[in-house]
Amino acid sequence: MNKYSAWLDLKEGIKHLTEKLHEIEAEIWLEAEKNGNLNPKGGKTFEAGEFKITINHIDSVKVDQKFAADRPELFKIKYEFDKTQYKNLVTSQKSYVDEAITISPNKPNFKVVRND
C-alpha cells in the first residue's frame, strides 16, 4: 500500500470513528436528559456505573459588529487580519501592519482524493 492510499484509508477510518463517536454521544445525551443530568447553563458531572461523565453546555456568542459599534463602551473591540486586503495595501501600509502582526506557520493541511 502506498502512502496516498494509506492516507485515504486513515481519513476514512477517522470519519467512520467520528460518526460512531457522535452516535454514542447522542445516546449518552439522551440518557443524561432522561435522568435529569444536564445543566443547560454550565456543566454537570454524574456517575453511570463505573464511569464519571461530565457534560458541559458552553454558549457561543457572536456579536453584530455594526450594532456594537454604536456602543463601544459595552464591547471589547476585536481586530482581525484580512489576508486579501493585506495583499492590496501599498508598501507603507504593509510596513505599518507588519509591525502589528506576527505570522507563524500552521500545521500543513492535506487533502487527497482518488482519481476516477
Three-point CA angle 81, 88, 72, nearest 5°? 40
Taking the C-alpha atoms of residue 68 and residue 90, their distance in angstroms, rounded to an integer, is: 30
pLDDT score at 69: 84
Three-point CA angle 38, 20, 34, nearest 5°? 25
pLDDT tens for 67-110 read 888 888 888 877 788 889 989 999 999 999 888 888 788 886 77
- State the virtual CA torsion across 111, 113, 115, 116 in degrees, nearest 10: -150
Q: What is the mean pLDDT of the chain?
A: 88
51 close to 28: Cβ distance less than 8 angstroms: no
The pLDDT of residue 13 is above 90:
yes
